[in-house]
Amino acid sequence: FSAAIVVKAVVASYSWSGFPYDDLCETSNIVSTTYIGRWDLQVGDNTTAETTIVQGEQSFRYCTQELPKIQQGKFPASPFHQPTGNEWMTDDQALLVEIFGWASVAVMALVAWYFLFSIVKLCERYFRASYVPQGEDQRIPFSVVKSISTYVPQVPSPLYSYPLLGCNIDGVDPEIFDWTDPDRPHSYYDLTKDAEELIGENRLRHHHVFSIVSHAPPTGDVTLTTMITSDDG
Collect all residues with Cβ–Cβ distance below 8 Å to 16 and sequence separation of at least 6.
77, 93, 96, 97, 100
Amino acid (one-letter) located at 191: L
Residue, of 164 and 65, whose pLDDT is higher: 164
Q: Is the pLDDT of residue 162 over 90?
A: yes
Confidence band of 202 (pLDDT split at 50, 70, 90):
low
> What one-character DSSP code corresponds to residue 176?
G
Whether 183 shows a pLDDT value over 80: the answer reads yes
Exposure string (b/e) for 38-60, b if CB count within 10 Å is 16 or more? eeeeeeeeeeeeeeeeeeeeeee
Quick: pLDDT tens for 11-52. Answer: 777 777 777 777 777 777 788 888 888 888 887 777 888 888
Q: How confident is the prediction for the chain on average, in pLDDT?
A: 76
pLDDT in tens, 189-200: 988 888 877 776
SS (H, E, C) 4-41: HHHHHHHHHHHHHHCCCCCCEEEEEEECCHHHCEEEEE
